Amino acid sequence: MKKKPFKTESKRILDLMINSIYTHKEIFLRELISNASDAMDKLYFKSLTEGGLDINRRDFEIFIEANKDIRTLTIKDNGIGMTKDELENNLGTIAKSGTMDFRQENQDSLRKPKTDSQEEDEVTEETAGAAENAEAAEKAAGASGEAEKSAGSDNAQEQPDIEVIGQFGVGFYSAFMVSKRITVISKAYGSSEAWRWQSEGADGYGIEPFEKEDWGTTIILEIKENQGEEDFDQYLEQYKIQEIVKKYSDYIRYPIRMEVTKSRPKAKAEGEEQDDQAMPEYESYQEIETLNSMVPLWRRNKNEVSAEEYEGFYMEKFYDYEKPLTYMHISAEGTVSYNGILYIPAHAPYNYYSKEYEKGLQLYANGVLIMEKCADLLPDCFSFVKGLVDSPDLSLNISREMLQQDRQVKAIAKSLEKRIKSELLKLQKDNREKYEGFFKDFGLQIKFGIYNSFGADKEKLQDLLLYHSLKEDKMVTLAEYKEKMAENQEAIYYACGGSVSRIRQLPQTELVLDKGYDILALTDDVDEFAIKILREYDGKAIKSVSDKDLNLESNEEKEAAKEQAEAHKDLFAAMKEALGDKVKEVRLSKRLKSHPVCLTSDGPLSLEMEKVLNSMPTDQQVKADRVLEINSSHPIFEALTKLEGKEPEKLKTYAFLLYNQALLIEGLTIEDPAAFANAICQLME
């Protein structure tokens, strides 16, 4: 058979699989069963929606067969099957979607951990050996063939990046963890041709016409020889197969059947005497047994489902390598009835904050999967939620367009949204550490939610927010901030910057903190945009420490400041003139304590927003109206007053230096660094 190479990207994943030292190799069976089940779902769905198909749900089954003599494990289904093209596209390449781009960017984490060339040789040798034994295995059952000796590659490798594997859902490929060679024989429903796809892993795959009577897919794994500590024999053992199926695939809604050997007391031959004392004699016999209970998890009673089952179900169904952070099993009755299981992942998928990410829940109509990702069930702010919903009230023939209008779907979505929010609030209250973990990964989405809805969703989302408190040096909610506010404190204060430590150093924060008021440190790009939309929380205004009117002074202080500003009017005017249109105004500061100057802004655009907007890939640059504020209690102020009217050139230099200093403190770039350096040197000379 002529071999085709795998696409490079696929090959890399394959390498990871083949040489995997992943400890849970047994999950390969779960993956293959899950694919088989999906294939039957698809065919069943087709029969329901297209009509005229001779399909009976009761006929669907997955059949497993192990043959120790030729070391094959066969998984057979009568699902929708695959055409030649589908075999090529589905099994010749991994992840047809944009995940590829990600892989390009992350080549390092995906590349097979380094092996020396010798090891690689051994692996090829081993697979080549398996090829000789191919024909026998093909027939899967009955035929016998001699199991060849494995060259045995000892993989002293680092743990491959399971994280990456997990996120791609490389289901089928996981079978290479236990197989020397995989043969897939498939016939698509309604097609007259069957095809055989075959691969020994790394060196590619072959595909050719084949004979197969019924539609569906048969997968034959030629199980590896034991290697050192690795026991591959177990995957050919009846008890082990039963155990794996029970453990991971119990809920699969089609029977998973296997011929098992059982034993029973031997029947007495006629005329033989009954001796009650004697040990009964046993005989073994073969029987086809259904290994799984077939009740979908979401239809089971909550009390009967263990956390492991919920978690395992999630990891398998939604391709996560990590357990979910939390889950909700919902049984709702009322205007619309539904069962559902929702999960909040413990980490954001790699593409979560990109356009590639598709939100949605699996949607079942009375146990039949009708949509893999129903986006209408989830609001954008909770797009991270995974799970499924099953409702007897939905129609099978519902189309994507109709779904959006569907009253039932809307009602379900509304009820889910409430559940998700209350679950998150509960987590926030009962398990802060977990919640903070959640917020680290998904908090950005909540903030986008507030921003994107122009505040329409603010009531819904504001209590889910966490910000770093400068005073307490930990994450707090707005409610917690408010509760600890000082008696005379008028507003909730925040400051923006690249990091908490940068914010701490902002001159504007000093006086506010000094008053005993806490400050929320905002470090995400979206933060200030979102918080400006919030505007207030529970009756308290939310204000930036750079706000024009902080209103922190007493009436006397205000009076005194007014007088001082008046007295030094000319100084500020001279400085403004020196700086030209770099600033809109130079004025006396009401917020500085030990720092000489700071930069704030007038108008709706803050300096932080300017930074964020200008970092976006557009040609348009925005500029906030800058205001240079001067601290009249700082010694430099006295120096300035002395220069005013006497040494205009020096005053210009001072203004220039102070302005640049303020830029630096604010985390902005200096427009002319060389001139700044020269000016300093001149002073030092």
By CB under 6 A, name the binding residues for ligand ADP: 31, 35-36, 39, 77, 79-82, 90-91, 169-173, 217
Would you say 173 or 537 has its CB closer to ligand ADP? 173
Measured in degrees and rounded to the nearest 5, phi and psi for residue 468 equal -80, 125
What token pair was written down for 628?
Answer: 């240079």
Alpha carbon separation from 84 to 33, 197, 211, 228 (Å, rounded): 21, 9, 13, 38
Would you say 372 or 672 has its CB closer to ligand ADP? 372
Residue of minimal CB distance from ligand ADP?
A: 171
Strands (E), 497-569: 519-522, 536-537, 540-544
- By the 8 A CB rule, do 244 and 178 touch? no
Would you say 79 or 201 has its CB closer to ligand ADP? 79
Would you say 88 or 585 has its CB closer to ligand ADP? 88
- By the 8 A CB rule, do 188 and 81 touch? yes
Name the amino acid, one letter, at 216: G
Shortest CB 94 distance to ligand ADP, Å: 7
Would you say 88 or 524 has its CB closer to ligand ADP? 88
Percent helix, strand and coil across the chain, each rounded to 5?
40, 20, 40
- By the 8 A CB rule, do 587 and 601 touch? no
- By the 8 A CB rule, do 292 and 251 touch? yes
Shortest CB 57 distance to ligand ADP, Å: 17
Count of Cβ atoms closer than 10 Å to residue 279 Cβ: 7
What token pair was written down for 342?
Answer: 């929702």
Would you say 32 or 466 has its CB closer to ligand ADP? 32
Would you say 36 or 665 has its CB closer to ligand ADP? 36
Shortest CB 501 distance to ligand ADP, Å: 43
Shortest CB 79 distance to ligand ADP, Å: 5
- Whose CA is closest to 585, among 668, 496, 672, 659? 659
Q: Determine which helix (DSSP H) or strand (DSSP E) holds 222, and give its type and residue range.
A: strand 216-223
Would you say 31 or 610 has its CB closer to ligand ADP? 31
Distance between alpha carbon 186 and the CA centroid of its chain, in Å? Answer: 33
- By the 8 A CB rule, do 3 and 205 touch? yes
Shortest CB 63 distance to ligand ADP, Å: 12
Shortest CB 173 distance to ligand ADP, Å: 6
Q: Determine which helix (DSSP H) or strand (DSSP E) holds 427, and give its type and residue range.
A: helix 407-430
Shortest CB 421 distance to ligand ADP, Å: 30
- By the 8 A CB rule, do 464 and 438 touch? no
- DSSP string for 69-93: TTTEEEEEE-SS---HHHHHHHHSS
Shortest CB 139 distance to ligand ADP, Å: 19
Measured in degrees and rounded to the nearest 5, phi and psi for residue 400 equal -55, -40
Shortest CB 200 distance to ligand ADP, Å: 17
Would you say 98 or 265 has its CB closer to ligand ADP? 98
Q: Order across the sheet with 625-630: list the strands.
A: 585-588, 625-630, 597-602
Would you say 187 or 458 has its CB closer to ligand ADP? 187
**Cross-strand bridge partners of residue 326:** 344
Shortest CB 223 distance to ligand ADP, Å: 18
